[in-house]
Structure 1
Amino acid sequence: MKLQESIPNCTTEDQYQSLYQDFYWEVPEHLNIADVCCRRWADETKRTAIFYEDSAGNCSKTSYAELYKKSNQLSNLLRQQGVQRGDVVACILPQRPEMAITIMACLQLGAIIMPLSFLFGSEALAYRLGHSEATTLILDQSGVDAYMQIADRCTYLKTVIGVDCRQVPKNFAALEWETYVADMSSNFKREKTRATDPAILIYTSGTTGDPKGALIPHSAILGNLTGFVASQNWFPQEKDVFWSPADWAWTGGLMDALLPTLYFGKPIVVYQGRFSAETAFYLLQKYKVTNTFLFPTALKMMMKAFPEPRQHYKLKLRAIMSAGESVGEAVFNWCQAALRVTPNEMFGQTEVNYIVGNSNQRWPARAGSMGRPYPGHRVALINESGAEVPLGTIGEIAVNRNDVHGHPDPVFFMGYWKNDATTRNKYSGEWCRTGDLAIADADGYLWYQGRADDMFKAAGYRIGPSEIENCLIQHPAVANAAVVPKPDKDRGNLVKAYVVLCKGFIGNADLIKDLQAHVRGKLAPYEYPKEIEFIDALPMTTSGKIQRHILRRQESERGKLKAN
């Protein structure tokens, strides 16, 4: 059964069991992401691929025909510069049309695209460029400073291409995109790739050790689609327009926004600039955005800035997917009441993306729940030995190599780049371990309990930070919060909360007592934060996740200094 044929028309019934049991994968032997996301739409000259706008108000529109033509030109330039099938091409580009062009050009060439965040510092870039042995780098002004600090260490790089790089040092040696790409032919003979061939290399940042390069095959685009379609309330529909602030250098922006939108031949809104609640609502209104992926952090900012947004903006939103952290009841209820859209939470990671989630128009979304396994993915909660845990018990989320029919699941990554040992440790038999903990209820919904390394014990009780953080967010004074253990000689750990306040609130002893009472009145007595520290901003990843390990390490170091 083909993917599109397995998905029924809109209904309010809970059709989860039939959707899940009746779904079968159909993965062709040969597949290229650039073919299905760009080339097949290229003949439709009026079909819009990208609406672009930057913070200065500059706007443009790129059709699929233009995307294809420019991708062919870049492919020819890369081939002329010696890029071969299997080579790694790195790019440091924010959301902009050239990023989409670069991805398509590399993939149809048979090369491996390695997107790098423009927020990376020099050492983060040096490690990834060196470890991947990237032969080519494409960057714009946002990546120049960091690159120039380590340029002499990038011994594998043969070619650098600069996009709009107008303020550069004299020793910046790069081919100008505007000149060299435009001179190339728009006809290109693409490589024929298998579905199992490598396509994308994304380095994931763990809490310890060096980043790991997850190598993703072309087939992963299909593995992501059931979750994308479901979480976006059966995308695509006739007038659908997609937007997400998620950085395309990460799985969330690339595999949950850009590529699946292009796969279905729909337009995606691209904004080059800093995120703010005002900008988000401006884009949603101007481009009549129907579908979006917003991190819980973004939704919290929007909720605090505009409690009643429809009094200020005309919105066409029909679907919101959220991931990275738990949305929480307060934000969930605000989305339903103020945006008139039930958010569909989703769970996945770079190695196995879009495996669990909600689809409120097909099965009821439950506030705070990660949802159920998406069709095509066999998911279970397992213990340290790899055995499935009893119902109602915390276990590690794992996805099986095969679906419920015994057929291979195309969502899987190929392995970690030059790291076979870590790849093997990712698995317990046929189960791929995610490192994230959850509890399943009787209806098959999963409830996130945090990262395995985020859980801690305080006075003998097992504490998961997400529930406490979501409770704190419900307080009108709290913009964001992170909960970590504070070492304590009597209890092992104390529950400590780092809190970012909303504008107009002042952190003092009275507010601390009020916040503690707020949590104590809603959760178990042992869960309220014994200590609260106000902070201007939480440490966050570029993909919107709270970096609790930084705060944990800070508390541990403080404890050592106090002991000495």
Structure 2
Amino acid sequence: MSSTPTRDMPDYEATRRDFQWERPEFFNFATDVTDRWARERPDALALHWSDEGGRERVFTWRQVRERSLHAARFLTGQGLGKGDRVFVMMPRVPEWWFLVLGCIRAGIVFMPGTPMLTPKDVRYRLEAAGAQAVLTEASCLDRFEGLVGTDAAKCWVSVGPVPPGSPWVEYTSAEQPEAAEDTFARTRAEDPMLLYFTSGTTGMPKMVQHTQASYGLGHQVTGRYWLDLTPEDRHLTLSDTGWAKCAWGKLFGPWSQGACNVVYDFRGRFVAAAFLRMLERQRVTTFCAPPTAWRALVLQDLSRYDLSSLRHVASAGEPLNPEVIDAWKKATGLHIREGYGQTESVVVVGMFPSLEPRVGSMGKPSPGFDVSIIDDEGREVASGQEGDIAVRVKPERPVGLFDGYLQDDAANETAFRGDWYVTGDRAVKDADGYFYFVGRRDDVIKTSGYRVGPFEVESALIEHEAVAESAVVGVPDERLGQRIKAYVVLAPGFTGSSELARELQEHVKRITAPYKYPRDIEFVTDLPKTVSGKIRRTDLRALALQGPAAKD
């Protein structure tokens, strides 16, 4: 594996000390960033798309500019204008990138959604946001059943063939004449650009608004320092287009640094072996995936694949079990470097390439962010003490943080505590400034007078060869307050039994503090997850009240 040192952060502390946010009056990611690469590197690859069938489409920076100009003119030709909100639901097709850049260029606010959403999910999003238009693809048309032609939106656009006589308008990607100019009005840095819906681990999704600068400029920290990208890199982030992770690693992060965005379009379940063959074939240099994918990848015989082009790999979305990090490093020599952030932010804590990795830690605060652990009164706690992960927003709000939750005063009141934005996640910071994730505030288990983070129990379980994946929740118990219950997906070749459950319980007792072992274990074929791949522990807690289990 390559051991190229980090390009722009050889010294973490010096970079943090000297970093200053750009705060321009006007900013637009399409005109100020991607168009700049089109001028400076017009014939370099910006987008390399391939699918499961082996088809490929490649686009240079010049072509990205031309096709996004065409998209912007098409959208404004449909009567859409600056500030209008459009819902975008597409699989990983190149047109997603062209239409999104077209929206940004024209000042239209885009709202990504995953193709896994149901018609009910879609209706909620269109109505909650007051969408003016829908941009989708032919394979997703059934998700809009009962909505097309209603006042849920005034404009319905699809990439690919549309039903004859329907309200759908067909969009075809095309290049503008090379001399075409961008004639759209300039966007201010504080103008809204993007509206995300939170993944909804608890309750209905909230609307998270980002400005032109908060993501367009903020993700330069993600791409430059955490993903460590250069214009010579071929970067792939494994993500659906509806996830915030797509913005992190498939749009703003890599393209802010001029890297080629490698896109693998698969429509079914994630197949680890096929994905590894694609990494090998495409000569990917930097790669980011969620923990669910990493856990599947390390179950493969990695020696069968030529991954020598990789120089840097990362994980985000949820904490990654140390055992998975160790397995990958033994096979490839590369440490999987974690990053922490939310739909509401860019990367705010990361295991940056210049940091010495520490097992179980998600790293240190990003340049431009003052991140700490605070108590319920907004006071910073001592090293080693658990508290809320918080980002300082006063006296100056950092670029890269959301505007706030739209139409939700209660959520905003909860999220901001004194000088801090409170993430809702719990962690511990050690004396050297490394952060260690504990869990979502609502997920921390209180048992026998102790507080237990589900992640530490899950990490202990996954060390056992029989466990492919696990999720841990607390369920009511008259004697203990809460008892720890584990849902376990078994690795190939293992069968669930009461004997195996007891073996796993003893295994956890040996690996971690005895009071943290799961008193209930239930074997399942899969775990309920949000559309972004996060475990829905609220569903598991409800299931725990009625489902069978192997009990202590």
Give the TM bin, normalised by the shorter chain.
Answer: over 0.9
8 A contact 1:30–1:194 mirrored in 2? yes
Shift of 1:290: 0.7
8 A contact 1:74–1:184 mirrored in 2? no
Shift of 1:558: 5.7
Equivalent AA in structure 2 for residue 77 of structure 1? F
Equivalent AA in structure 1 for residue 34 of structure 2? C
- Quick check: 1:85 aligned with 2:82? yes
- Quick check: 1:484 aligned with 2:465? no
Q: CA separation of 1:497/1:209 partners in 2, compared to 1, >3 Å: closer, same or farther?
A: closer
Q: CA separation of 1:443/1:227 partners in 2, compared to 1, >3 Å: closer, same or farther?
A: farther
- Please report the RMSD computed on the Cα atoms of aligned residues, expressed in angstroms: 2.1
Normalising by structure 2, we get a TM-score of: 0.93
Equivalent AA in structure 2 for residue 178 of structure 1? T
8 A contact 1:401–1:409 mirrored in 2? yes
- Quick check: 1:201 aligned with 2:195? yes
In structure 2, what is the equivalent of residue 97 of structure 1?
94
Alignment of 1:290-301 (within 5 A): 290-301=285-296
The CA distance in 1 between the partners of 2:182 and 2:337, in whole Å, is 40
In structure 2, what is the equivalent of residue 3 of structure 1?
none
In structure 2, what is the equivalent of residue 472 of structure 1?
461
Shift of 1:10: 6.7
Aligned equivalent of 1:326, options 319, 322, 345: 319
Equivalent AA in structure 1 for residue 256 of structure 2? Y
Secondary structure at the aligned position of 1:293 is classed as strand
Aligned equivalent of 1:257, options 227, 250, 253: 250
Aligned equivalent of 2:16, options 9, 16, 20: 20
8 A contact 1:37–1:259 mirrored in 2? no
Shift of 1:127: 0.6
- Quick check: 1:163 aligned with 2:159? yes
The CA distance in 1 between the partners of 2:165 and 2:419, in whole Å, is 51
Farther-moved stretch of structure 1 (255-264 vs 416-425): 416-425
8 A contact 1:231–1:320 mirrored in 2? no
Equivalent AA in structure 2 for residue 555 of structure 1? A
Shift of 1:400: 0.9
- Quick check: 1:211 aligned with 2:205? yes
The CA distance in 1 between the partners of 2:282 and 2:176, in whole Å, is 33
Aligned equivalent of 2:442, options 436, 453, 474: 453
In structure 2, what is the equivalent of residue 223 of structure 1?
218
Alignment of 1:383-532 (within 5 A): 383-402=375-394, 407-532=396-521
8 A contact 2:237–2:249 mirrored in 1? no
The CA distance in 2 between the partners of 1:456 and 1:150, in whole Å, is 42
Shift of 1:171: 6.2
The CA distance in 2 between the partners of 1:500 and 1:91, in whole Å, is 33
Equivalent AA in structure 2 for residue 195 of structure 1? A
Shift of 1:187: 4.4
8 A contact 2:223–2:254 mirrored in 1? no
- Residues 264-315 of structure 1, C-alpha deviations (whole Å, 9 max, x = no match): 2221111111422112211211111111111111111000122xx1333243
Secondary structure at the aligned position of 1:305 is classed as coil
8 A contact 1:48–1:64 mirrored in 2? yes
The CA distance in 2 between the partners of 1:317 and 1:92, in whole Å, is 31
8 A contact 1:297–1:544 mirrored in 2? yes
Shift of 1:557: 5.3
Farther-moved stretch of structure 1 (125-134 vs 266-275): 266-275
Farther-moved stretch of structure 1 (122-131 vs 260-269): 260-269
Aligned equivalent of 1:59, options 56, 61, 64: 56
8 A contact 2:362–2:436 mirrored in 1? yes
Alignment of 1:9-408 (within 5 A): 11=10, 15-43=11-39, 44-151=41-148, 154-165=150-161, 168=163, 172-178=166-172, 187-220=181-214, 221-232=216-227, 234-236=228-230, 239-273=232-266, 274=268, 275-306=270-301, 309-360=302-353, 362-402=354-394, 407-408=396-397
- Residues 424-478 of structure 1, C-alpha deviations (whole Å, 9 max, x = no match): 3310122001000000100000100000010121222211100110111111111
Farther-moved stretch of structure 1 (222-231 vs 375-384): 222-231
Secondary structure at the aligned position of 1:505 is classed as coil
Q: CA separation of 1:182/1:48 partners in 2, compared to 1, >3 Å: closer, same or farther?
A: closer
Equivalent AA in structure 2 for residue 348 of structure 1? G
8 A contact 2:29–2:212 mirrored in 1? yes
8 A contact 2:69–2:176 mirrored in 1? no
Q: CA separation of 1:314/1:346 partners in 2, compared to 1, >3 Å: closer, same or farther?
A: closer
Secondary structure at the aligned position of 1:100 is classed as helix
Secondary structure at the aligned position of 1:190 is classed as coil
Secondary structure at the aligned position of 1:330 is classed as helix
8 A contact 1:96–1:271 mirrored in 2? no
Secondary structure at the aligned position of 1:265 is classed as coil
In structure 1, what is the equivalent of residue 3 of structure 2?
none
The CA distance in 1 between the partners of 2:497 and 2:154, in whole Å, is 56
Equivalent AA in structure 2 for residue 210 of structure 1? M
The CA distance in 2 between the partners of 1:524 and 1:314, in whole Å, is 38
Shift of 1:483: 0.4
Q: CA separation of 1:228/1:69 partners in 2, compared to 1, >3 Å: closer, same or farther?
A: closer
Shift of 1:258: 2.1
The CA distance in 2 between the partners of 1:77 and 1:34, in whole Å, is 16
Secondary structure at the aligned position of 1:545 is classed as coil
Equivalent AA in structure 1 for residue 159 of structure 2? V
> How many pairs are equivalent?
538
